[in-house]
Structure 1
Amino acid sequence: MPTGIRDVGSYLPGPPVPATFFFTEEELASPIASNPLFKAPATRHHVNGERAAEMIAAAARPMFERLGTEPAGSVDLLITNVMLPDHPITGSGAETADLLGCRPRWIIDLHNGGCASFGYMLKLADTMIASGAARTALLCNVQNGAGQFFAQPKVRKSPYAAVAGDGCGVAYLSAGGGSELLGASVIHAPEYARDLGLTGTRKYWAPGTEELMVSFPQDKLGDIIARGNRLVPEAVTDVCKQIGVATEDIDVLITNQPNKMFLANWRQALGVPEERHIDSFEEFGNLYTAGVPVTFDRALRAGAVSDGDLVVFAGFAHAGDMASAAAVRWCG
């Protein structure tokens, strides 16, 4: 039986946070702040004490209510991808299952994948469902680094900080039901994994007061931008070839939301009109791992996706060590 997406859900913590939380009006008008890579969205959301599992439960419960089912007994496979796991050893999967009252056969805390994780998780879940190892799956993407990491007093003055937002997106899959998953593509480029790291002189687990920050080597920034421009169209083109359509035939394109520059470059490379490429950046900022499912859920609720639409999800992760794309024929 083909794997299908039954429904999706999302959760955004707290009230919207304005760009002035990070910079003054004068700083926001500076040349660096106007750079397309760093231009701050109007608003974003920040976690305020929520655990990742609590964010997942807040996104998933309304979805299960719409489906008329309870999580207990309805989730064979639970996959989480959390930017900052509340417990670095056990991850968030078991806590999520406990909060939702389910006992999956499989709990996978998928730490890699980043902004490409949604397509990666779709392919993994499809593989397991096709093998008969599971019949249903709950995919959970949590970005919780903006309010905990990028909001640090010194870090929040970095040009990267104001771009990030927090949120959670979930998707429920089953065998033989929902909107059929037509194909998926995952690209690995492990040679680029070390091009993203933490600044600072101490290990992240070591005691100290130094604020750590995610950063890219400045001398590789041009290469990283080029990878990002290339990888998403490459993954989307691959999945379109799998299912025998041209990229121009995509009805709705849902990508991660790093900045306006990447969004414009991707749709231009793929021949997808702007109105068919959903843009949530100005409202939610860069939601990293949660960007694709949250953007899709909001597009559904806004009526931007119709029955019969060919929907393609895509993203690239970190400094370009992974990219993914997946296609579904949406049937509401």
Structure 2
Amino acid sequence: MNVKQPGLGIAITGSGSATPLATLDNEGLSQLVETSDDWIASRTGIRQRRLASPNESVTTIATQAAQSAIAMANLSPMDLDLIILATSTADDLFGSASQIQNALGAQKAVAFDLTAACSGFVFGLVTAAQFIRTGAYQNILLIGADVLSRWVDWTDRRTCILFGDGAGAVILQANEHDRLLGFELRSDGTQNQCLNLAYQPQPQELVDGVTIGQGNFQPITMNGQEVYRFAVRRVPEVIEKALFRANRSVEDVDWLLLHQANQRILDAVGDRLNIPYDKIISNLAKYGNTSAASIPLALDEEVRQGKIQPGDTIVASGFGAGLTWGAVVFQWGR
């Protein structure tokens, strides 16, 4: 939906990204599980991924990405009113956004986490926009960051080939001209079992008649075929609805920016929408699936390489665990 007060528009004025130092390529993975570079690349498009060391965290890489975005927008941390961290792998289950606020020195900013898995950045973008459209805040930092390597079973060939760690960030500012043109968000809990990072309780009796469940989160599990079928069916639909709400057509799209899950999904969605391959942004060969970080990470690279120019129309779509999916149509810059 699109509901806003007159004169309260949004512009995305800065971007930034950061990835861990260590790189694990497909040849290295073949030392852990029975696989090969050809097998992984042909099925996913992924060649390598970045993995966080014990000294790196969601907070450290998110802070680096945020600093770059703040600098591009010509702001200081003290200008920020709100920080939203889209993540499923917070350093602290109570949330990591406040740690980032402290690391940045953004004392005036409210900070909170938002969890919607690989859709997190798109959901966060729409959430941030509402604070600007109501006049509550002027300058918002939105970060997508995940360290999925903590939760991957590195003996499971079905999942360990897919995921990497990273962070991306954008600055949203109040603007006379509204550059957030339309969006559509969806959830379907009936398909939750397709992709999980689930808590496994272990019964523990405290006193007679009082038993609690204390346990741990289990490694990521995924039904890859179901997730693929879901994505290639639902993502084109939600993009078309977002474009309708934006009063735009597929021909108006300069860039298609999908969650970087699998090159086959990117290609299939592009084919269904009749969007040329040269308009589809892809960097998953270098980073793999970085969950909530994937869209802003790819966006920042394209902006810094000069491919995305002010005024370009971008359709971004996230999809993943929940299951959740959504699309947003926006123009880069003021």
What TM-score, normalized to structure 1? 0.86
Q: 1:177 and 1:47, CA in 2 relative to 1: closer, same or farther beyond 3 A?
A: farther
Corresponding letter in the other structure for 1:188: S
Deviations 1:134-175 (A, max 9, x none): 1121111112012x232x5xx344231022111000111111
Contact 1:114 / 1:289 at 8 angstroms: preserved in 2? yes
CA–CA distance in structure 2, aligned partners of residues 247 and 170 of structure 1: 26
Q: 2:230 aligns with which of 222, 227, 232?
A: 227
Equivalent residue of 1:265, what SS?
helix
Q: Look up the match of 1:271.
A: 274
Q: Look up the match of 2:68.
A: 62
Matched, 1:186 2:185: yes
Contact 2:34 / 2:157 at 8 angstroms: preserved in 1? no
Corresponding letter in the other structure for 1:274: Y
Q: Look up the match of 2:292.
A: 289
CA–CA distance in structure 2, aligned partners of residues 125 and 324 of structure 1: 15
Q: 1:137 aligns with which of 122, 140, 160?
A: 140
1:303 to partner: Cα distance: 2.0
Contact 2:197 / 2:220 at 8 angstroms: preserved in 1? yes
Matched, 1:13 2:20: yes
Contact 1:77 / 1:138 at 8 angstroms: preserved in 2? yes
Q: Look up the match of 1:106.
A: 110
Q: Look up the match of 1:71.
A: 77
Q: 1:104 and 1:158, CA in 2 relative to 1: closer, same or farther beyond 3 A?
A: farther
Q: Look up the match of 2:163.
A: 164
Q: Look up the match of 2:262.
A: 259
Corresponding letter in the other structure for 1:237: E
1:249 to partner: Cα distance: 2.5
Deviations 1:287-314 (A, max 9, x none): 1110000001011112221233111111
User: Structure 1: 5+ residue runs without aligned partners?
Assistant: none
User: Structure 2: 5+ residue runs without aligned partners?
Assistant: 1-7, 203-212
Equivalent residue of 1:45, what SS?
strand
Matched, 1:325 2:327: yes
Deviations 1:41-79 (A, max 9, x none): 22110111212222111111133233332102x111211
Contact 1:6 / 1:179 at 8 angstroms: preserved in 2? no
Deviations 1:102-156 (A, max 9, x none): 1345322112x1111111111111111111221121111112012x232x5xx34
Corresponding letter in the other structure for 1:51: S
CA–CA distance in structure 1, aligned partners of residues 198 and 166 of structure 2: 24
CA–CA distance in structure 2, aligned partners of residues 105 and 50 of structure 1: 24
Identity of aligned residues (%): 22
Matched, 1:215 2:221: yes
Contact 2:143 / 2:169 at 8 angstroms: preserved in 1? yes
CA–CA distance in structure 2, aligned partners of residues 222 and 117 of structure 1: 22
Q: How many residues align?
A: 316
1:41-52 to 2 correspondences below 5 Å: 41-48=46-53, 49-52=55-58
Contact 1:81 / 1:117 at 8 angstroms: preserved in 2? yes
Contact 1:5 / 1:177 at 8 angstroms: preserved in 2? no
Q: Which has the higher strand share?
A: 2
Q: 1:11 and 1:29, CA in 2 relative to 1: closer, same or farther beyond 3 A?
A: closer
CA–CA distance in structure 2, aligned partners of residues 10 and 255 of structure 1: 17
1:267 to partner: Cα distance: 0.5
